[in-house]
Amino acid sequence: MDQQYRMLIDGELVPGVSSFDVINPATGEAFASCPKADEALLERAVAAARRALPAWSAQSMDDRAALILALANALEEGSGEFASLLTREQGKPLDQASYEIMGSVYTLRAIARMRIAPKKLREENGNTIIEHRTPLGVVAAITPWNFPVILLMNKLAPALLTGNTMIAKPAPTTPLTTLLFGELCRQILPAGVVNILCDQNELGALITGHPGIAKVAFTGSTATGKKVMASSAGTVKRVTLELGGNDAAIVLDDVDARQVARKVYQGAMTNAGQICVAIKRAYVPAPLYDDFCDELATLANVAIVDDGAKQGTTIGPIQNKMQFDKVKALIEDARGRGTILAGGDALDRAGYFIPPTIVCDLDDSAPLVVEEQFGPVLPVLRYTDIEDVIARANDSDYGLGGTVWGKDVARATAVAMRIDSGTVWVNQHLAIDPAIPFRGVKQSGLGAELGEAGLLEYTQAHIVNAVALEDA
Ligand code: NAD
């Protein structure tokens, strides 16, 4: 525990009022200590972000973009250190951690290139109406533990580009990469533009209720998202909610079952299934079902489940003990209802390891099918009728993503059009692009992140409606 981590307030690296352990999920043991903020430090951070606001929002978009690009360069230079710390706190295999860091660099650069120009809404008979886009003020970014770095960049880059200042609060189990990023912010940005505070789930409600914060950009579970929305009502705060999902993969009957099984496996098991848009249930036509399940089981059986820091690991541990226990309980329940074709038991070693688990023969009411498992466990469900399977896929409170797999792309696209989700991919998965808006429907979210729509969510419309004075 030799490295000291500090929070960032008003351009200063500050210790906490106390600290808490950060656990490496591959060992179940603490490897670092994280400083913890209290309400007084939150007040200091909000005051600093408000003080920094006038000068920051007065800079040109080009000048702010240049500093975002400088952050991208610094993150790229430090990518090795960031990736190994990410693996240690989050658990993901090192190659996937590097991918998240380089994806973060790419996101910062892509968003720094975007611009918003004033829009002329009318110019006639001496009347000019222009819609300007002005910053909201202080934005809070609240992030979860599955992709702690890139999900922060998705918020920080558009917020700063459009002239807002920020308070970032990482999840309690993965705070360190955010704190390390704070050191880059301290070197590159004016004091107070980005402030970083850590907690053990106590600060969220104080942030969402704070009158000095104009917007909360939240990514996390639907249950917490509802609390964010309720608590933000008191100050009519803007909220963007990127919440949970229970994405269905619909396999059509014209595919090679084994080829598509390999793609679906990746979509379900990457990051040990801890992705909001991971494939969380697969619907397969009855004639392809056995081959499809068999191929999934073969892949699951050759997975290398180990510490993400070890070369060759394909599946790391579940990120935290609470999630580990939740996934184990869902598997235990499924054991009594269906057939476990591969995996099924946590590894008998320290750390939170669950091997890729393939479950067949469940019916749609099983908790593993209805709930968001957020782990390396995939239920595979049989269907015979396409209308029926579309209805089953849509029978969920969630509506985040989804995939359709078919040789006839036009037919697969027609099915995709009928899936009630924010994004549906056809014959691919996880094609998230900073230029394309991403959003959940139903209880998967509110508002967009990324793309022009995402950028606009960090601004408010300011209409200036002018006419000339008539001659006196
Ligand atoms: P979580 O809801 O438990 O925590 C998310 C964040 O909210 C953490 O920083 C936490 O400290 C904070 N928080 C806790 N209580 C709060 C409160 N009352 N007010 C405000 N903030 C509070 O989520 P998690 O378990 O860390 O993340 C997993 C969930 O995130 C999954 O459901 C996953 O699908 C979802 N997710 C969604 C997206 C998306 O883009 N839609 C992306 C990644 C993850």
Q: What is the 143 CA–ligand 1 centroid distance (Å)?
A: 6
Q: Which one of 34, 149, 150, 201 would you pick to mutate in the ligand 1 pocket, going by the greatest count of ligand atoms within 8 A of its CB? A: 201
Residue 173 has pLDDT above 90, yes or no: yes
Cβ contact 200:20 at 8 Å = yes
Per-residue pLDDT, averaged over 263-270, amounts to: 98
324-358: pLDDT as tens digits: 999 999 999 999 999 999 999 999 999 999 999 99
In testing the pocket of ligand 1, which one of 173, 224, 232, 397 has its CB within 8 Å of the most ligand atoms?
Answer: 224
Confidence at residue 3, expressed as pLDDT on a 0 to 100 scale:
81
CA-only gyration radius of the chain, Å? 23
Query: How far apart, in Å, do the first and last CA atoms of the chain sit?
Result: 77
Coil, strand or helix: which one is 157?
Answer: helix
Atom of ligand 1 nearest to the CA of 245: 34
CB of 142 sitting under 6 A from ligand 1: yes
Q: Which two tokens stand for residue 157?
A: 């880059």
What is the per-residue pLDDT for 185?
98
173-193 mean pLDDT: 98
Sign of the C-alpha dihedral computed for residues 99, 104, 107 and 108 taken in this order: negative
The answer on pLDDT for 2 being more than 70 is no
Residue whose pair of structure tokens reads 């996934």 in the numeric block? 327
Phi and psi of 380, rounded to 5°?
-115, 125
C-alpha of residue 389 to centroid of ligand 1, in Å: 30
Mean pLDDT computed over 102-113: 98
Q: Report the pLDDT averaged over residues 207-229.
A: 98
Ligand 1 geometric centre to CA of 203 (Å): 13
Report if pTM > 0.95.
Answer: yes
pLDDT for 470: 87
Out of 100, 242, 295, 449, which one is annotated catalytic?
Answer: 242
The proportion of the chain whose per-residue pLDDT surpasses 70, expressed as a percent, equals 100
243 CA distance to ligand 1 middle (Å): 7
* Per-residue pLDDT at 1 exceeds 70: no
Write the residue with the smallest CA distance to atom 14 of ligand 1: 201
DSSP character for 235?
G
Q: Report the C-alpha gap between 222 and 374 in whole angstroms.
A: 13
Cα–Cα distance between 74 and 184 in angstroms, integer? 7
Q: Which of 100, 142, 199, when mutated, tests ligand 1's pocket best, judged by the most ligand atoms within 8 Å of its CB? A: 142
Contact predicate 109/72, CB 8 Å = yes
Contact between 459 and 215 under an 8 Å Cβ cutoff? The reply is no
How far from 289 is each of 256, 283, 285, 403, CA to CA, in Å?
A: 11, 9, 6, 17
Instruction: Supply the pLDDT for residue 472.
Output: 86
CA dihedral 337, 270, 147, 84 (to 10 degrees): 130
Residues 6+ apart with CB under 8 A from 214: 136, 137, 138, 139, 164, 237, 238
What is the residue-averaged pLDDT of the chain? 98
Ligand 1 atom at minimum distance from 400 CA: 41
- Please check the confidence at residue 271 and state whether its pLDDT lies above 70: yes
- CA–centroid distance, 221 to ligand 1, in Å, is 4
The Cα–Cα gap between 311 and 302 comes to: 15
Is 276 a catalytic site residue?
yes
